[in-house]
Amino acid sequence: MKLIIAIIKPFKLEEVKEALAAAGIEGMTVTEVKGFGRQKGHTEIYRGSEYTVDFLPKVKIEVAVGDDAAGKAVDTIVKAAKTGKIGDGKVFVLPLEEVVRIRTDERGESAV
């Protein structure tokens, strides 16, 4: 099992969600986050005093998938979230040891 963590531009969230659903992947956790990578922050000026915003708003998506679906999920996210411009974000894939569905106590891939 894999845990896929994707950091994307906020306005791409809806497209990524729809694309993943179309690819048969249901369920995700979304968090509004801030961060920076190669995309630089920007500078705001308030009556002459500068205010540099280093951290830009992004959305973090977490999706747990079975090993077979991981590649397809990553491709889907990348395709849907791409604008080709700097600041599109990143996708991280991590091994996942255990998954438990709280309601039924199911464990492993059937709980994903």
Q: What gap in Å lies between CA 3 and CA 109, rounded to an integer?
A: 12
| Residue 97 near another protein by CB under 8 A | no
Note whether 72 and 83 are within 8 A (CB). Answer: no
Considering only residues 49, 84, 95, 105, which one is a binding residue for another protein as defined by CB under 8 A? 49
CB-based contacts of 90: which residues, under 8 Å, 6+ apart? 6, 7, 37
Q: Report the residue number, 55 or 92, with the smaller CB distance to another protein.
A: 55
Considering only residues 4, 8, 19, 46, which one is a binding residue for another protein as defined by CB under 8 A? 46
- In the complex, the residues that contact another protein under the rule CB under 8 A are 9, 11, 13-15, 18, 42-53, 85
